């Protein structure tokens, strides 16, 4: 029984029903489910006028006494009525009294729904499509894969071990899983990678503009300041020649409901809804160059090359599609749907109680 008015002992005088009971949300659904019946509501209306026995209630609500007794038991369990044993014509009878007059239901505050975060690290050699223009090539953590400057080399099986990819023009495309639960909606998407521009050998003053597309929508363009090679990166293998590219800059593109950003700077009006994210299809991420770009070329670093121990990383943040209050209403509708046995009154029958 809900912890409000206490049951009285046998033959004790009935107290007046509580005028107001504050019902915590954790106890709401059983009470609301008890109210999700025309017949039980009718019982409450009848006993509000005057306490009644089961026999009297059965006549007033036009149900057999066994069914009325079941309805009363459910109302009693959640504290909406109180039953007392009183003398009857043939022994004892249950007298049903109202327990409360008003219920105040406390709903949760307007807090933000809890978010879920899914992170996928994609090895840079697991691209699904690539177009390259020399200078171009790739290296593993142990060696450069030859021949370089030949586009077909990028289909060599060793590409799965790639830790550095460089190209002067073209694009690299990756497909990520879209890990959104069925009752969630995307809130924010981030793509990050270590990058620098591409020049012959290296040139730390040669900038490049790398653009990111997600599901075909342009998210933003990052200006990379140069092709960095004057020092070794924190993870760069020692076999790399002194005249080679050695590290890059961790660059992050992000999209939410306000627009897109590159490294926290506004980059465009594309929102997360514009990306049309769905668990039914992958998230397609493309690094490349716009046709009207001033500079092109890039080096893309893996988790074992450069300064940052990550490959291409996608971070997807989602939240329940419904606010806590909306979710509660959905649960209430489900809980309050009458069962088949409550949709129609049962036939009248004999009762063992008077």
What's the CA gap between 291 and 307, in Å, rounded? 30
Tokens at 333, concatenated: 């509708």
164 and 310 in a single domain? The answer is: yes
The one-digit pLDDT tens for each residue of the chain (354 residues) are 454 443 333 343 444 565 667 777 777 888 888 889 889 999 999 999 999 998 899 999 899 989 999 999 999 998 899 998 888 666 788 899 998 888 887 776 655 667 899 999 999 999 999 999 999 999 999 999 999 999 999 999 999 999 999 999 999 999 999 998 878 899 999 999 999 999 999 999 999 999 999 999 999 999 999 999 999 999 999 999 999 999 999 999 999 999 999 998 999 999 999 999 999 999 999 999 998 766 789 999 999 999 999 999 999 999 887 655 555 565 666 665 655 555 544 444 444 443
59 and 132 in a single domain? The answer is: no
Domain that holds residue 10: 1-106
Asked if residues 253 and 190 have their Cβ atoms less than 8 Å apart, the reply is yes
pTM of the predicted model as reported, rounded to 2 decimal places: 0.64
Asked if residues 57 and 139 have their Cβ atoms less than 8 Å apart, the reply is no
81 and 125 in a single domain? The answer is: no
Domain of 130, CATH number, reads 2.60.120.260
* 323 three-state secondary structure: coil
163 and 26 in a single domain? The answer is: no
Q: 248, 223, 218: which is closest to 309 by C-alpha? A: 248
């Amino acid at each position: 029984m809900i912890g409000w008015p206490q049951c009285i002992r046998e033959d004790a005088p009935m107290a007046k029903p509580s005028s107001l009971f504050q019902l915590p949300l954790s106890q709401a659904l059983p009470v609301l489910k008890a109210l999700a019946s025309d017949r039980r509501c009718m019982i409450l209306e009848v006993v509000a006028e005057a306490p009644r026995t089961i026999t009297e209630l059965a006549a007033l609500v036009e149900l057999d006494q066994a069914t009325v007794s079941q309805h009363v038991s459910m109302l009693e369990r959640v504290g909406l009525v109180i039953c007392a044993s009183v003398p009857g014509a043939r022994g004892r009878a249950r007298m049903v009294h109202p327990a409360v007059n008003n219920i105040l239901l406390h709903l949760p505050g307007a807090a933000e729904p809890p978010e879920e975060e899914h992170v996928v690290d994609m090895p840079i050699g697991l691209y699904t499509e690539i177009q390259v223009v020399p200078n171009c090539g790739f290296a593993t953590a142990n060696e450069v894969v030859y021949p370089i400057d030949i586009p077909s080399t990028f289909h060599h099986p060793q590409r799965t071990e790639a830790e550095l990819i460089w190209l002067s023009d073209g694009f690299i495309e990756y497909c990520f899983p879209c890990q959104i639960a069925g009752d969630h909606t995307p809130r924010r998407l981030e793509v990050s990678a270590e990058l620098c521009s591409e020049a012959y050998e290296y040139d730390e003053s040669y900038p490049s503009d790398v653009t990111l597309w997600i599901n075909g929508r342009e998210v933003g363009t990052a200006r990379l300041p140069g092709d960095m090679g004057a020092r070794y990166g924190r993870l760069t293998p020692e076999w790399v020649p002194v005249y080679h590219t050695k590290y890059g800059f961790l660059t992050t593109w992000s999209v939410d409901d306000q627009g897109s950003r590159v490294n926290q700077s506004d980059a465009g009006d594309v929102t997360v809804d514009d990306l049309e994210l769905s668990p039914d299809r992958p998230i397609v991420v493309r690094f490349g160059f716009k046709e009207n770009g001033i500079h092109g070329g890039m080096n893309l670093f893996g988790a074992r090359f450069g300064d940052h121990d990550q490959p291409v990383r996608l971070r997807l943040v989602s939240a329940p599609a419904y606010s806590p209050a909306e979710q509660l209403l959905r649960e209430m509708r489900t809980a309050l749907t009458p069962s088949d046995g409550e949709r129609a009154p049962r036939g009248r029958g004999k009762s063992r109680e008077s």
